[in-house]
Structure 1
Amino acid sequence: MPGTFSQMYIQIVFAVKGRNSLIHPSWENELHKYMTGFIQNNGQKLLAINGMPDHIHILIGMKPSCCLSDLIRELKKSSSSFIKDKKLSPYAFQWQEGYGAFSYSHSNLNQVIAYIMNQKEHHKKRTFKEEYLEFIQKFELEYNPKNLFEWMD
Protein backbone atom coordinates (compact mmCIF):
# COMPACT_ATOMS: atom_id res chain seq x y z
CA MET A 1 0.00 0.00 0.00
CA PRO A 2 1.51 3.38 -0.97
CA GLY A 3 2.49 5.57 1.96
CA THR A 4 2.77 2.64 4.39
CA PHE A 5 6.15 2.06 5.98
CA SER A 6 7.09 -0.36 8.72
CA GLN A 7 10.10 -1.92 10.34
CA MET A 8 9.39 -4.79 12.74
CA TYR A 9 11.96 -7.35 13.82
CA ILE A 10 10.84 -10.33 15.88
CA GLN A 11 12.89 -13.10 17.46
CA ILE A 12 10.81 -16.26 17.76
CA VAL A 13 11.79 -19.05 20.15
CA PHE A 14 10.09 -22.42 20.51
CA ALA A 15 10.97 -25.89 21.74
CA VAL A 16 10.61 -29.54 20.81
CA LYS A 17 7.73 -31.20 22.69
CA GLY A 18 8.87 -32.46 26.08
CA ARG A 19 12.12 -30.59 25.48
CA ASN A 20 13.46 -33.75 23.88
CA SER A 21 16.74 -33.29 22.02
CA LEU A 22 15.42 -34.56 18.69
CA ILE A 23 16.93 -32.08 16.22
CA HIS A 24 20.00 -34.00 15.11
CA PRO A 25 23.06 -32.15 13.76
CA SER A 26 23.04 -34.37 10.65
CA TRP A 27 19.73 -32.84 9.45
CA GLU A 28 19.55 -29.56 11.35
CA ASN A 29 20.67 -27.51 8.30
CA GLU A 30 18.03 -29.19 6.14
CA LEU A 31 15.36 -28.20 8.69
CA HIS A 32 16.67 -24.62 8.80
CA LYS A 33 16.58 -24.40 4.99
CA TYR A 34 13.02 -25.71 4.95
CA MET A 35 11.92 -23.23 7.62
CA THR A 36 13.68 -20.39 5.77
CA GLY A 37 11.78 -21.23 2.60
CA PHE A 38 8.49 -21.44 4.49
CA ILE A 39 9.00 -18.02 6.08
CA GLN A 40 10.04 -16.42 2.78
CA ASN A 41 7.15 -18.05 0.91
CA ASN A 42 4.85 -16.45 3.48
CA GLY A 43 6.17 -13.00 2.62
CA GLN A 44 8.46 -12.49 5.61
CA LYS A 45 12.22 -11.87 5.63
CA LEU A 46 14.35 -14.39 7.51
CA LEU A 47 17.38 -12.71 9.09
CA ALA A 48 18.76 -15.54 11.24
CA ILE A 49 17.92 -19.11 12.23
CA ASN A 50 19.77 -21.45 14.57
CA GLY A 51 19.16 -23.51 17.62
CA MET A 52 19.93 -26.51 19.70
CA PRO A 53 18.69 -30.10 19.59
CA ASP A 54 15.72 -29.11 21.79
CA HIS A 55 14.78 -25.58 20.62
CA ILE A 56 15.10 -23.06 17.82
CA HIS A 57 15.61 -19.28 17.44
CA ILE A 58 14.38 -17.41 14.36
CA LEU A 59 14.74 -13.69 13.63
CA ILE A 60 12.40 -12.27 11.01
CA GLY A 61 11.71 -8.91 9.46
CA MET A 62 7.92 -8.96 9.73
CA LYS A 63 5.46 -7.20 7.45
CA PRO A 64 2.45 -5.57 9.12
CA SER A 65 0.07 -7.74 7.10
CA CYS A 66 1.43 -10.84 8.86
CA CYS A 67 -0.39 -12.42 11.77
CA LEU A 68 2.51 -13.73 13.85
CA SER A 69 0.52 -16.42 15.68
CA ASP A 70 -0.76 -17.80 12.36
CA LEU A 71 2.73 -17.78 10.86
CA ILE A 72 4.23 -19.64 13.83
CA ARG A 73 1.36 -22.15 14.05
CA GLU A 74 1.71 -23.00 10.36
CA LEU A 75 5.53 -23.05 10.52
CA LYS A 76 5.47 -25.53 13.40
CA LYS A 77 2.82 -27.68 11.69
CA SER A 78 4.59 -27.64 8.32
CA SER A 79 8.08 -28.28 9.71
CA SER A 80 6.82 -31.18 11.86
CA SER A 81 5.30 -32.72 8.73
CA PHE A 82 8.55 -32.10 6.84
CA ILE A 83 10.54 -33.98 9.52
CA LYS A 84 8.04 -36.87 9.51
CA ASP A 85 7.73 -37.08 5.72
CA LYS A 86 11.52 -37.04 5.24
CA LYS A 87 11.91 -39.55 8.10
CA LEU A 88 14.64 -37.35 9.58
CA SER A 89 13.95 -38.41 13.16
CA PRO A 90 13.48 -42.02 14.25
CA TYR A 91 11.28 -40.64 17.06
CA ALA A 92 7.84 -39.03 16.95
CA PHE A 93 8.59 -35.34 16.38
CA GLN A 94 6.39 -32.53 17.59
CA TRP A 95 6.91 -28.93 18.68
CA GLN A 96 5.67 -27.86 22.11
CA GLU A 97 2.68 -25.59 22.31
CA GLY A 98 3.48 -21.94 22.71
CA TYR A 99 6.43 -19.77 21.75
CA GLY A 100 8.29 -16.64 22.71
CA ALA A 101 8.25 -13.59 20.45
CA PHE A 102 10.51 -10.66 21.25
CA SER A 103 10.77 -7.42 19.28
CA TYR A 104 13.95 -5.50 18.51
CA SER A 105 14.93 -2.22 16.94
CA HIS A 106 16.99 -1.98 13.76
CA SER A 107 20.00 -0.85 15.80
CA ASN A 108 20.00 -4.19 17.70
CA LEU A 109 19.91 -6.46 14.65
CA ASN A 110 23.62 -7.27 14.43
CA GLN A 111 23.73 -8.14 18.13
CA VAL A 112 20.62 -10.35 17.92
CA ILE A 113 21.84 -12.10 14.75
CA ALA A 114 25.21 -12.81 16.41
CA TYR A 115 23.41 -14.13 19.49
CA ILE A 116 21.27 -16.50 17.42
CA MET A 117 24.15 -17.70 15.27
CA ASN A 118 26.23 -18.41 18.39
CA GLN A 119 23.67 -20.70 20.06
CA LYS A 120 25.92 -23.77 20.29
CA GLU A 121 28.63 -21.87 22.14
CA HIS A 122 26.15 -19.91 24.23
CA HIS A 123 24.48 -23.06 25.58
CA LYS A 124 27.75 -24.48 26.85
CA LYS A 125 27.38 -21.90 29.65
CA ARG A 126 23.63 -21.79 30.30
CA THR A 127 20.51 -23.85 29.90
CA PHE A 128 17.54 -23.11 27.67
CA LYS A 129 15.47 -22.51 30.80
CA GLU A 130 17.93 -19.88 32.06
CA GLU A 131 18.01 -18.25 28.63
CA TYR A 132 14.23 -18.20 28.22
CA LEU A 133 13.55 -16.85 31.72
CA GLU A 134 16.10 -14.10 31.05
CA PHE A 135 14.17 -13.10 27.90
CA ILE A 136 10.95 -12.95 29.91
CA GLN A 137 12.58 -10.81 32.61
CA LYS A 138 14.43 -8.57 30.14
CA PHE A 139 11.21 -7.84 28.26
CA GLU A 140 9.29 -7.44 31.54
CA LEU A 141 6.63 -9.98 30.62
CA GLU A 142 4.08 -11.19 33.12
CA TYR A 143 3.81 -14.96 33.16
CA ASN A 144 2.57 -17.92 35.13
CA PRO A 145 5.37 -20.49 35.60
CA LYS A 146 2.78 -23.22 34.96
CA ASN A 147 2.39 -21.90 31.40
CA LEU A 148 6.07 -22.11 30.45
CA PHE A 149 7.64 -24.91 28.42
CA GLU A 150 8.09 -28.34 29.93
CA TRP A 151 11.58 -28.07 31.41
CA MET A 152 14.11 -30.83 31.68
CA ASP A 153 16.30 -30.00 34.65
Structure 2
Amino acid sequence: MANTYSQVHLHFIFAPKFRHALIGATWETSLYKYITGIVQARQHKMIAINGMSDHLHMLVGFRTTQSIGDFMQDVKADSSQWINVNRFCGSRFEWQAGYGVFSYSKSQVPNVISYIQTQKEHHRKVTFREEYLSFLEKFEVEYDERYVFKSPE
Protein backbone atom coordinates (compact mmCIF):
# COMPACT_ATOMS: atom_id res chain seq x y z
CA MET A 1 0.00 0.00 0.00
CA ALA A 2 1.26 3.42 -0.85
CA ASN A 3 2.10 5.71 2.07
CA THR A 4 2.17 2.85 4.58
CA TYR A 5 5.19 3.02 6.85
CA SER A 6 6.12 0.73 9.69
CA GLN A 7 8.99 -0.38 11.86
CA VAL A 8 8.26 -3.80 13.30
CA HIS A 9 10.99 -6.04 14.72
CA LEU A 10 9.81 -9.56 15.55
CA HIS A 11 11.79 -12.27 17.31
CA PHE A 12 10.56 -15.75 16.33
CA ILE A 13 11.41 -18.93 18.22
CA PHE A 14 10.41 -22.34 16.90
CA ALA A 15 11.48 -25.96 17.10
CA PRO A 16 11.38 -29.27 15.26
CA LYS A 17 8.43 -31.47 16.12
CA PHE A 18 8.63 -32.72 19.71
CA ARG A 19 11.74 -30.50 20.09
CA HIS A 20 13.91 -33.31 18.78
CA ALA A 21 17.51 -32.27 18.15
CA LEU A 22 17.31 -32.74 14.37
CA ILE A 23 19.06 -29.65 12.99
CA GLY A 24 22.50 -30.95 12.08
CA ALA A 25 25.68 -28.95 12.55
CA THR A 26 26.77 -29.86 9.00
CA TRP A 27 23.74 -28.23 7.38
CA GLU A 28 22.46 -25.64 9.85
CA THR A 29 24.20 -22.75 8.07
CA SER A 30 22.62 -23.84 4.78
CA LEU A 31 19.24 -23.97 6.54
CA TYR A 32 19.71 -20.43 7.84
CA LYS A 33 20.57 -19.21 4.34
CA TYR A 34 17.55 -21.00 2.88
CA ILE A 35 15.19 -19.55 5.49
CA THR A 36 16.71 -16.10 4.89
CA GLY A 37 15.74 -16.52 1.23
CA ILE A 38 12.17 -17.37 2.22
CA VAL A 39 12.00 -14.28 4.43
CA GLN A 40 13.39 -12.02 1.70
CA ALA A 41 11.07 -13.48 -0.94
CA ARG A 42 8.16 -12.28 1.20
CA GLN A 43 9.66 -8.77 1.33
CA HIS A 44 10.70 -8.98 4.99
CA LYS A 45 14.25 -8.42 6.25
CA MET A 46 16.26 -11.08 8.06
CA ILE A 47 18.23 -9.28 10.75
CA ALA A 48 19.59 -12.31 12.64
CA ILE A 49 19.15 -16.08 12.55
CA ASN A 50 20.79 -18.77 14.67
CA GLY A 51 19.88 -21.62 16.93
CA MET A 52 20.63 -25.02 18.31
CA SER A 53 19.92 -28.54 17.10
CA ASP A 54 16.50 -28.39 18.81
CA HIS A 55 15.29 -24.85 18.03
CA LEU A 56 15.81 -21.73 15.97
CA HIS A 57 15.69 -17.97 16.58
CA MET A 58 15.04 -15.30 13.93
CA LEU A 59 14.89 -11.54 14.25
CA VAL A 60 12.94 -10.17 11.32
CA GLY A 61 12.20 -6.64 10.14
CA PHE A 62 8.57 -7.43 9.42
CA ARG A 63 6.52 -5.68 6.76
CA THR A 64 2.81 -5.34 7.44
CA THR A 65 1.79 -6.85 4.09
CA GLN A 66 1.56 -10.39 5.47
CA SER A 67 0.07 -11.85 8.63
CA ILE A 68 2.43 -13.37 11.18
CA GLY A 69 0.61 -16.71 10.95
CA ASP A 70 0.88 -16.87 7.15
CA PHE A 71 4.54 -15.88 7.35
CA MET A 72 5.39 -18.66 9.80
CA GLN A 73 3.42 -21.18 7.78
CA ASP A 74 5.48 -20.21 4.71
CA VAL A 75 8.79 -20.41 6.59
CA LYS A 76 8.03 -23.76 8.18
CA ALA A 77 6.44 -25.41 5.13
CA ASP A 78 9.11 -24.27 2.67
CA SER A 79 12.06 -25.04 4.94
CA SER A 80 10.80 -28.46 6.04
CA GLN A 81 10.22 -29.39 2.40
CA TRP A 82 13.79 -28.28 1.60
CA ILE A 83 15.16 -30.35 4.51
CA ASN A 84 13.21 -33.41 3.36
CA VAL A 85 14.11 -33.06 -0.33
CA ASN A 86 17.78 -32.85 0.63
CA ARG A 87 17.39 -35.81 3.03
CA PHE A 88 19.25 -34.10 5.86
CA CYS A 89 17.43 -36.20 8.48
CA GLY A 90 17.11 -39.94 8.73
CA SER A 91 13.34 -39.56 8.91
CA ARG A 92 10.71 -37.07 7.81
CA PHE A 93 11.39 -33.61 9.25
CA GLU A 94 8.55 -31.44 10.60
CA TRP A 95 8.47 -28.27 12.66
CA GLN A 96 6.46 -28.14 15.90
CA ALA A 97 2.99 -26.68 15.25
CA GLY A 98 3.41 -23.58 17.42
CA TYR A 99 5.99 -20.85 17.76
CA GLY A 100 6.83 -17.87 19.90
CA VAL A 101 6.91 -14.34 18.52
CA PHE A 102 7.96 -11.30 20.50
CA SER A 103 8.23 -7.67 19.43
CA TYR A 104 11.06 -5.26 20.13
CA SER A 105 11.68 -1.55 19.68
CA LYS A 106 14.52 -0.37 17.46
CA SER A 107 16.64 0.51 20.53
CA GLN A 108 16.50 -3.16 21.64
CA VAL A 109 17.55 -4.63 18.28
CA PRO A 110 21.34 -4.72 18.96
CA ASN A 111 20.77 -6.68 22.19
CA VAL A 112 18.45 -9.14 20.45
CA ILE A 113 20.97 -9.63 17.62
CA SER A 114 23.70 -10.35 20.19
CA TYR A 115 21.42 -12.76 22.03
CA ILE A 116 20.61 -14.68 18.85
CA GLN A 117 24.24 -14.75 17.71
CA THR A 118 25.39 -16.25 21.03
CA GLN A 119 22.89 -19.10 21.24
CA LYS A 120 25.55 -21.83 21.53
CA GLU A 121 27.14 -20.12 24.54
CA HIS A 122 23.78 -19.26 26.09
CA HIS A 123 22.59 -22.87 25.99
CA ARG A 124 25.59 -24.14 27.90
CA LYS A 125 23.78 -22.74 30.95
CA VAL A 126 20.07 -22.74 30.05
CA THR A 127 17.88 -25.39 28.42
CA PHE A 128 15.57 -24.52 25.56
CA ARG A 129 12.55 -25.18 27.77
CA GLU A 130 13.86 -22.79 30.46
CA GLU A 131 14.65 -20.18 27.81
CA TYR A 132 11.24 -20.42 26.18
CA LEU A 133 9.31 -20.24 29.44
CA SER A 134 11.40 -17.23 30.50
CA PHE A 135 10.36 -15.43 27.29
CA LEU A 136 6.70 -16.15 27.98
CA GLU A 137 7.05 -14.86 31.53
CA LYS A 138 9.16 -11.81 30.59
CA PHE A 139 6.60 -10.76 27.97
CA GLU A 140 3.70 -11.62 30.31
CA VAL A 141 2.18 -14.10 27.88
CA GLU A 142 -0.50 -16.22 29.51
CA TYR A 143 0.05 -19.91 28.82
CA ASP A 144 -0.93 -23.37 29.96
CA GLU A 145 2.29 -25.29 30.50
CA ARG A 146 0.58 -28.52 29.41
CA TYR A 147 0.36 -27.11 25.89
CA VAL A 148 3.59 -25.14 25.59
CA PHE A 149 5.56 -28.20 24.53
CA LYS A 150 3.73 -30.92 22.63
CA SER A 151 4.90 -34.35 23.76
CA PRO A 152 5.26 -37.36 21.46
CA GLU A 153 2.00 -39.23 21.05
Please indicate, yes or no, whether the TM-score normalized by the shorter chain is above 0.5: yes
Matched, 1:150 2:150: yes
Matched, 1:48 2:41: no
Q: Structure 2 matches for 1:25-64, cutoff 5 A?
A: 25-64=25-64
TM-score, normalised to structure 2's length? 0.95
* Number of the residue aligned with 2:100: 100
Q: Is the 8 A contact 1:129 1:151 kept in 2?
A: no
Structure 2 distance, partners of 1:103, 1:30, is 26
Structure 1: 5+ residue stretches without partners = none
TM-score, normalised to structure 1's length? 0.95
Deviation of 1:65 (Å): 1.3
Deviation of 1:151 (Å): 6.6
Structure 2 distance, partners of 1:82, 1:4, is 33
Structure 2 distance, partners of 1:24, 1:3, is 43
Matched, 1:86 2:70: no
Deviations 1:100-136 (A, max 9, x none): 0000000000000000010000000000011001100
Over the aligned positions, Cα root-mean-square deviation in angstroms equals: 1.3
Structure 2 distance, partners of 1:100, 1:89, is 24
Runs of 4 or more off by more than 2 Å in structure 1? 1-4
Q: Is the 8 A contact 1:80 1:94 kept in 2?
A: yes
Aligned length, in residue pairs = 152
Deviations 1:60-115 (A, max 9, x none): 00011121100101110111100010111122211111000000000000000000
Q: Is the 8 A contact 1:15 1:149 kept in 2?
A: no
* Number of the residue aligned with 1:117: 117
